[in-house]
Amino acid sequence: GAGVSQSPSNKVTEKGKDVELRCDPISGHTALYWYRQSLGQGLEFLIYFQGNSAPDKSGLPSDRFSAERTGGSVSTLTIQRTQQEDSAVYLCASSQQGDQPQHFGDGTRLSIL
């Protein structure tokens, strides 16, 4: 596709369940980023991939959060044993290289009941 695609667009789940969020970056973009935006807040950096490796995982809030990227393309962000404070919009972005402007998807709105 022409832009960054994220799925699902909305996810409602019960506390304690695991969720998996998917990001399909722009074709050819080597860098991929995950952010979280809580209500009324800015974008909180979670993790960054260059190719399939993640040089910076410093933003992951806890060990319940993990992310992987395979084939230098699609990435999944997994949240285990979800908590209510995980409710937020999760945004994915990609860029040609790490120092280029980022192209964002429209996000996944995650609601934990």
Give the Cα separation of 52 and 40 in Å (integer). 32
Q: How far is the CB of 28 from other proteins (least distance, A)?
A: 17
59 binds other proteins (CB under 8 A): yes
- Beta-carbon contacts of residue 21 (< 8 Å; ≥ 6 apart): 6, 7, 8, 11, 76, 77, 78, 79, 90, 92, 108, 110
Candidates 11-19, 60-68, 70-78, 90-98: pick the segment binding other proteins (CB under 8 A): 90-98
68 binds other proteins (CB under 8 A): no
Using CB under 8 A, which of 56, 64, 74, 96 touches other proteins? 56
